[in-house]
């Protein structure tokens, strides 16, 4: 947030700092003063000079005995650990989960027993395909992994922001991931699914079609982590104290509603702020605007499962919320950033098999495979079996076991006893009463490598998703498919994909075929289940139908020039504060702009560094004289043209009209481009911002 006076710089070290001394070669040493901590080696030995290696004479050879240098460099050389094979780029935060009411009827999970119980939580959001250093606005699934430190052990709900998945059996996971990541010979494209290998695999994998509808929708380019849903995806089980089981699906619903960006916007955000999502989470938590989600659950019994149209073990299917309304059971609040990114966000080890008593697995073959993979991957990534000793991974409840030794062991069992049974009467013992007990489902059958026939309908829910979208959302899906396939060089892959689309929606298939310039329409792909079910639309699947209708939590970009109307700015600031929305000042120079009454307002961004794609809506507060300079600046034109093209609300003072002209929109002013003349215009303007986008404009700024 900008300040209206100059900020103090007292915390910033300058070359006038008294603690700075010059060494013989002119280098600056910062030396310890009374009360400041003394630099030491990792062994605790105080250091005299951290700028020069130990040498024979100032220009002589370096000495091997320089233990400080050796320790410093060797540690640096070992700083990297393998990045996650998927979900490498992520960002996390601490918080808590609060239970609304006891769920003892359904589960004995300790965290769900008492109303008002608060359970510490750590959440890591991520993209899937890109490397650790890739950009945030990739078109991709987002990971939504939640670690809940319950009083009966850690529960990891390792979910995504999309409730279904590409594949039905874990054995296909390496294939889909190989296909989506950079192609192995050329090592590109980075963090993009728009390439031959991905679409080749997809077009040969009909079970992925439902997920493809989601991943080509706006869900794959969320505005920020704060505005997306999370899903446990699989069917799990609740098990109560009487060992009765109820099936359960988990959903996280963001308090601020759902929101995504436009594709063209995503591409530009990646250029101007590749850390857009990280920064958003950091800024909102640091400013005290703590993101919040409600945990809602879909509960159902075997009878429901037997009568539902699809197999509840199939992770490419969901249960529409209209058929089985989710029940709110608690809330998740993120209120603290990690002290250190590596120690916490990078080293956090999520594992689907981390479940406390009262939560159990279903036979979903994807979940069963995951239960193997996550432990294995942590052993590799974190270097050994003692990753549970790392504070972010250690339970916060008492724990006792006989596991010992190994690399970096930090909590070996104390005393003589490290086995059971023993004659010493010491050490922990298993408890039939408190311990985890798997639900005793009766299983029998032949050993087979077979996919269940009940998994075979790949198109009905894909169509249901598509027809549940608003018109603009449907257009975005068609545009995304066309864009992605336009990057595919092999025509047969494009055609094969269109042949699947024909089984989902003929108009969609026709649009994509037209967009790609296909000479003829391929025949529809042969479906394993010939008759597609015509399912009712499910409004819960659309982002637009579940909008926030408030500007709370969003950010307004205010472009100022010298001579702007200070009363309008003050009214905007006040209105946004009341709305719990943020704003940034963008000015031709970062030093800021001077209002007509002589007040100086500091800028947060120079016009070059603050393109309109970084904001949910923009305002142009200018003056006639200020406009003369701004008109020479092409980024100012782009600022306005992009905001308009991305269907954003634009507020402007009358003097900004020439800039609207320069941006080519003066003749297309619609009800989303709003003149702000005096302070009383501001409240209705802010109320309008709650609509977030003027989707009706899209027809005028995009080809059909």
Q: Which active-site residues does the annotation give? A: 87, 160
φ and ψ at residue 77, rounded to 5 degrees: -60, -25
CB of 42 to ligand HDE, least distance (A): 27
Contacts of 487 (CB under 8 A, 6+ apart): 189, 192, 194, 195
Cα first-last separation, the chain? 40
CB of 376 to ligand HDE, least distance (A): 7
Rg (CA), the chain: 29
381 is known to lie in a ligand binding site: yes
DSSP 534: -
Q: Which is nearer to ligand HDE, 87 or 500 (CB)?
A: 87
CB of 84 to ligand HDE, least distance (A): 4
List residues near ligand HDE by CB under 6 A: 84-87, 90, 124, 126, 143, 145, 158-160, 165, 170, 173, 233, 315, 348, 350, 366, 369-370, 373-374, 377
Residue that the structure tokens 């979910």 belong to: 159
Strand ranges in 602-672 using DSSP code E only, listed in sequence order? 605-606, 617-621, 650-652
Q: Report the alpha-carbon distance of residue 463 to residue 465 in Å, rounded.
A: 5
DSSP 345: I
Q: Which is nearer to ligand HDE, 175 or 426 (CB)?
A: 175
φ and ψ at residue 672, rounded to 5 degrees: -100, -5
124 is known to lie in a ligand binding site: yes
Q: Report the alpha-carbon distance of residue 655 to residue 110 in Å, rounded.
A: 62
Q: Cα–Cα–Cα angle for 477, 481, 485, nearest 5°?
A: 175
- Strands 650-652, 617-621: parallel, antiparallel or unpaired by DSSP? parallel
429 is known to lie in a ligand binding site: no
Residue 477 token pair: 């899906």
The SS3 call for residue 551 is: coil
Q: Report the alpha-carbon distance of residue 332 to residue 252 in Å, rounded.
A: 8
Residue 419 token pair: 């086995």
Reported as half-sphere exposure (CB side, CA atoms, 13 A), residue 443 has a value of 8
Q: Which residue's Cβ has the minimum distance to ligand HDE?
A: 143
% helix, strand, coil for the chain, step of 5: 30, 15, 50
Q: Report the alpha-carbon distance of residue 251 to residue 328 in Å, rounded.
A: 9
Q: Which is nearer to ligand HDE, 314 or 552 (CB)?
A: 314
CB of 610 to ligand HDE, least distance (A): 30
84 is known to lie in a ligand binding site: yes
Q: Report the alpha-carbon distance of residue 579 to residue 596 in Å, rounded.
A: 26
Q: Report the alpha-carbon distance of residue 489 to residue 300 in Å, rounded.
A: 46
CA 293 to chain CA centroid, Å, is 13
Q: Which is nearer to ligand HDE, 143 or 611 (CB)?
A: 143
Q: Report the alpha-carbon distance of residue 495 to residue 502 in Å, rounded.
A: 11
- Binding-site residue numbers for heme are 84, 124, 173, 370, 374, 381
Residues tagged in the binding site annotation: 84, 124, 173, 370, 374, 381
């Amino acid at each position: 947030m900008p300040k209206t006076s100059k900020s103090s710089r007292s915390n910033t070290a300058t070359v006038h700092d008294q603690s700075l001394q010059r060494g013989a070669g002119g280098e600056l040493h910062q030396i310890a003063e009374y009360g400041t901590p003394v630099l030491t080696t990792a062994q605790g030995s105080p250091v005299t000079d951290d700028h020069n290696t130990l040498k024979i004479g100032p220009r002589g050879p370096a000495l091997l005995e320089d233990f400080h240098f050796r320790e410093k460099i060797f540690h640096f050389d070992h700083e990297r650990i393998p990045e996650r094979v998927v979900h490498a780029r992520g960002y996390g935060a601490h918080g808590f989960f609060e239970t609304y009411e006891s769920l003892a009827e359904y589960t004995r999970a300790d965290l769900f027993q008492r109303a008002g119980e608060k359970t510490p939580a750590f959440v890591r959001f991520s993209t899937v395909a890109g490397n650790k250093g890739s950009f945030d606005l990739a078109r991709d699934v987002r990971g939504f992994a939640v670690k809940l430190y319950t009083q009966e052990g850690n529960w990891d709900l390792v979910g995504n922001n999309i409730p279904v998945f590409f594949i039905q059996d874990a054995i296909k996971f390496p294939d889909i991931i190989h296909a989506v990541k950079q192609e192995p010979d050329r090592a590109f494209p980075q963090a993009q699914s728009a390439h031959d290998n991905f679409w080749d695999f997809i077009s040969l994998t009909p079970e992925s079609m439902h997920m493809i509808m989601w991943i080509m929708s706006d869900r794959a380019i969320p505005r920020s982590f704060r505005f997306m849903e999370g899903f446990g995806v699989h069917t799990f089980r609740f098990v109560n104290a009487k060992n009765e089981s109820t099936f359960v699906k988990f959903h996280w619903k963001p308090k601020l509603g759902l929101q995504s960006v436009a594709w063209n916007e995503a591409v530009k955000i990646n250029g101007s702020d590749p850390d857009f999502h990280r920064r958003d989470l950091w800024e909102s938590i640091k400013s005290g605007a703590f993101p919040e989600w409600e945990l809602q659950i879909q509960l159902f019994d075997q009878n429901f499962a037997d009568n539902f149209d699809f197999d509840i073990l199939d992770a490419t299917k969901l249960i529409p919320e209209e058929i089985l309304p989710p029940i709110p059971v608690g809330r998740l609040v993120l209120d603290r950033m990690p002290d250190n990114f590596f120690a916490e966000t990078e080293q956090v080890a999520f594992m689907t098999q981390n479940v406390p008593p009262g939560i159990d697995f279903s036979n979903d073959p994807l979940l069963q495979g995951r239960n193997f993979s996550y432990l294995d991957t942590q052993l590799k990534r974190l270097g050994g079996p003692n990753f549970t000793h790392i504070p972010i991974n250690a339970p916060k409840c008492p724990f006792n076991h006989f596991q010992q030794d190994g690399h970096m062991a930090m909590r070996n069992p104390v005393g003589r006893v490290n086995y059971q049974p023993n004659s010493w009467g010491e050490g922990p013992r298993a408890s039939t009463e408190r311990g985890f007990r798997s639900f005793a489902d009766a299983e029998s059958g032949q050993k087979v490598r077979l996919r269940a026939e009940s998994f075979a309908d790949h198109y009905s829910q894909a169509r249901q998703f598509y027809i549940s979208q608003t018109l603009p959302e449907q257009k975005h899906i068609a545009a995304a498919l066309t864009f992605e396939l336009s990057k595919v060089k092999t025509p047969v892959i494009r055609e094969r994909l269109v042949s699947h689309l024909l089984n989902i929606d003929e108009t969609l298939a026709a649009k994509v075929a037209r967009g790609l310039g296909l000479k003829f329409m391929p025949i529809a792909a042969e479906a394993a289940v010939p008759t597609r079910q015509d399912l009712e639309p499910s409004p819960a699947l659309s982002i637009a139908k579940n909008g926030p209708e408030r500007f709370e939590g969003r950010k307004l970009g205010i472009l100022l020039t010298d001579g702007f109307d200070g009363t309008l700015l003050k009214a905007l600031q006040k209105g946004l504060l009341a709305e719990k929305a943020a704003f940034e000042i963008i000015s031709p120079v970062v030093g800021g702009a001077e209002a007509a009454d002589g007040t100086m307002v500091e800028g947060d961004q120079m016009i070059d560094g603050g393109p309109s794609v970084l904001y949910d809506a923009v305002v142009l507060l200018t003056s006639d004289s200020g406009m003369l300079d701004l008109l020479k600046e092409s980024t100012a034109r782009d600022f306005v043209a992009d905001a308009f093209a991305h269907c954003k609300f634009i507020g402007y003072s009358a003097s900004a009209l020439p800039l609207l002209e320069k941006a080519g929109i003066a003749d297309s002013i619609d009800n989303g481009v709003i003149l702000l003349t005096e302070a009383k215009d501001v409240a209705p303007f802010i109320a309008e911002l709650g609509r977030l986008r003027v989707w009706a404009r899209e027809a005028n700024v995009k080809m059909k």
